[in-house]
Amino acid sequence: MGVTIGRYLNDEFIGKRCLRMRKEGYLVEIRNVKGSDYYMISPLINEWWGGRQMSDMLPKLFFDHFKNTSFIAEIDGRIVGFIIGFLSQSELDAAYIHFVGVHPTYREQKIGKRLYQRFFNVVKQRNRNVVHAVTSPVNKASIAYHTKLGFDIEIGDREMDGVSVFSDYDGPTQDRVLFMKRLD
């Protein structure tokens, strides 16, 4: 799973606009994803993640087949965030969050929190009371963020910088931190 890290892009226009919006207040709208969002979001991902090659992790199928549990955050029709998740087919009480991103300029304004909250609400309506997510141990921002949102870290086979990890979870050398949150 990917959660964007806190890198600030040098985007003067958006910076100024954001400043203005902070002063004036602005409306973040959350809506379900549609297939064509893929073509907007896919090129943004590597940029939002500060140049890491992340877009391969989010092929088009997620935009075609998990629309009812995946959401876009927009300001004036411009995409500033997204959450892509689904209901587990195998674990009937569980849902899984695959990918979350917020435009670097619009971070720390609770857009991510609103996206997660929307996801939680929808999956609860579908009788899911557990949400899983997975991240990389190097993604400290993601670990801190999920912990703040009330996710527990599952106990893996070893610790790394004080965090329990599952060694080689996503293949050789691909250790992962597994999160689990119970919905009230």
Chain residues that interact with a second copy, rule: CB under 8 A: 39, 42-43, 55-57, 59-61, 64-69, 86-91, 94, 96, 98, 134, 168-171
The residue among 18 and 133 lying less far from a second copy, judged by its C-beta, is 133
The angle formed by the CA atoms of residues 28, 152 and 53, to the nearest 5 degrees, is 60
Tokens representing 42?
Answer: 């896919």
Burial class (CB in 10 A: 0-12, 13-18, 19+), 81: buried
* Spatial separation of the C-alpha atoms in residues 68 and 83, rounded to whole Å: 11
Min dist CB 177 to a second copy, Å, is 13
Min dist CB 67 to a second copy, Å, is 4
The residue among 75 and 177 lying less far from a second copy, judged by its C-beta, is 177
* Spatial separation of the C-alpha atoms in residues 136 and 121, rounded to whole Å: 26
The residue among 29 and 91 lying less far from a second copy, judged by its C-beta, is 91
* Spatial separation of the C-alpha atoms in residues 54 and 4, rounded to whole Å: 10
* Spatial separation of the C-alpha atoms in residues 119 and 96, rounded to whole Å: 10
Min dist CB 28 to a second copy, Å, is 24
The residue among 65 and 113 lying less far from a second copy, judged by its C-beta, is 65
Min dist CB 54 to a second copy, Å, is 11
The residue among 71 and 106 lying less far from a second copy, judged by its C-beta, is 71
Min dist CB 76 to a second copy, Å, is 26
Tokens representing 103?
Answer: 């435009």
